[in-house]
Amino acid sequence: MPKRYVILTESIKDPAGMDAYGRAAGPSMAEGGASVLAVDGQPDVLEGEWHGDRTAVLEFESVEAARAWYASEAYGRAKALRQAAADTNAVIVAGFEPPTRGA
At 85 the pLDDT is 98
- Alpha-carbon distance of 44 to 60, in angstroms, equals 24
60: nearest Cα among 32, 40, 34: 34
pLDDT at residue 103 greater than cutoff 70 = no
First to last CA, the chain: 16
When the pLDDT of each residue in the chain is averaged and rounded to a whole number, the result is 93
Per-residue pLDDT averaged across 67-71, rounded? 97
Cα–Cα dist 83/77, whole Å: 10
Q: pLDDT of 15-60, one tens digit each?
A: 999 999 999 999 999 999 999 999 998 888 999 999 899 999 999 9
64 confidence band (pLDDT: 50, 70, 90):
very high
Q: Is the pTM of this model over 0.85?
A: yes
pLDDT band per the 50, 70, 90 thresholds, residue 2: confident
Sheet containing strand 54-60, edge to edge, reads 35-40, 54-60, 4-12, 86-94
Domains assigned to the chain: 4-42+51-94 (3.30.70.100)
In angstroms, the CA 28 to CA 78 distance is 8
What is the rounded (10 degree) CA torsion for 21, 22, 23, 26?
Answer: 120
